[in-house]
Amino acid sequence: MKNHESNVVGPDVMLIALAASIPNAAVLGGFLNLSSSQIKDTNNWIDSIRASSPTRTRSSSSSSDNQDKINSWMLYHPSALNMFDQIAYNMKGKKIVTFLDYDGTLSPIVADPDKAFMTKKMRATLKDIARHFPTAIVTGRCRDKVYSFVKLAQLYYAGSHGMDIKGPTKSRTPNKGNDKALLCQPASKFLPMIEEVYKILLEKTKSVPGAKVENNKFCLSVHFRCVDEKCWAALAEQVRLVLNEYPKLKLTQGRKVLEIRPTIKWDKGKALEFLLESLGYDNSNDVFPIYIGDDRTDEDAFKVLRNRGQGIGILVSRVPKDTEASYTLKDPAEVEQFLRRLVQWKRSSTQ
């Protein structure tokens, strides 16, 4: 069908213009053959990655407008530190279980994911928390990798977005006197496929400066943090083209990262439910789970808690976001303060 208006740009011209606007467009490997819906998908991923960056400023809004939005958002998602007394009142007489994301929650977000270290203060507080409550770290990272950061054997570790769960050897399960270490790996059959895609992505993305592909065992992360923003679309499209050949894998986005995971119905919310069941709290009315996280993937866990009507979800963010969490904390420093107050409250309540 011909265009009858001289100012209407045809789809072929739009594609060529889009490709020409992207640095290193050659890495797209077939970009000009994409459908408009595929281009839209890529743009949606990039928009989501931009929106999830807490340091990104929006020039179209004045600082006062931004502050008004933050104040309005805080009415519905108040600071967990400011509301600690109310939270403590709701915890009274309950069995507390703590669930914590790692990057952006226990450690700051850093350019090199291999250097996302906790502070000594955070590690000491985390050790105290684990003395008083069953504690799990639920992360998109490889379980072994996050353990190498934390190095606390008394914790439960749920890596790969909960697809690789291992507990301490000495069980703290109240209803099961079992000293066998807990282990759950629902995506084991995907390991060869994940490894195969990892090798392909290493090769395909090496032409994009700053791109990093991380193997998290049961999932993969493609990091954008050190990539020039002008190259984000090219990198995202290269990842999408690879994933087209693997329909049993899905693509999601986080804070300057694309996540590749098996299509099984398993996420951080499922991991939370599994751990509560393993601890003997699946049908308990007196359990109070606390989940703290900063990423889109943590929303699955926040939603589980809201649906259960038990415990609280706490989002770590300086900027307003759509969330199922009830409370907020600004950064890992505030997370440490909240956890320390939790320990102090526990100690005072048992005296």
pLDDT digits (tens, 9 = 90+) for 86-115: 999 999 999 999 999 999 999 999 989 899
Tell me the three state secondary structure of residue 74.
Answer: helix
Q: Residues of the chain with pLDDT > 90: what percent? A: 68
pLDDT at 6: 37
Q: What is the pLDDT of residue 30?
A: 41
Which pLDDT value is given to residue 300? 96
If we measure between CA atoms, which residue out of 351, 321, 318 comes closest to residue 333? 318
Number of Cα atoms under 13 Å in the Cβ half of residue 175: 9
What is the sign, positive or negative, of the torsion defined by CA atoms of 109, 110, 111, 113?
Answer: negative
Q: What's the pLDDT score for residue 160?
A: 96
Instruction: Work out the pLDDT band at 52, boundaries 50, 70, 90.
Output: low
The whole-angstrom separation of Cα 280 and Cα 290 is 16
| pLDDT in the model for residue 125 | 98
Every domain range in the chain assigned CATH 3.30.70.1020: 1-51+187-264
Instruction: Yes or no: say if 215 and 142 are a contact pair by the CB < 8 Å rule.
Output: yes
Q: What CA–CA distances, in Å, run from 71 to 112, 319, 332?
A: 33, 10, 21
* Sign of CA pseudo-dihedral 7, 10, 15, 17: negative
The CATH H-level superfamily of 76-177+266-349 is HAD superfamily/HAD-like (3.40.50.1000)
pLDDT one-digit tens code per residue, 34-47: 445 555 566 666 66
Choose, from 41, 65, 68, 101, the residue flagged as catalytic. 101
CATH 3.40.50.1000 placement within the chain: 76-177+266-349
Paired with 315 in beta bridges are: 293, 328
Catalytic residue flag (residue 144) = no
- Tens digit of pLDDT for each residue in 193-217? 999 999 999 999 998 999 999 999 9
CATH no. for 1-51+187-264: 3.30.70.1020
Q: Are 52 and 254 spatial neighbours (Cβ–Cβ below 8 Å)?
A: yes
Average pLDDT over residues 346-351: 85
Given the structure tokens 């900063």, which residue do they identify?
A: 294
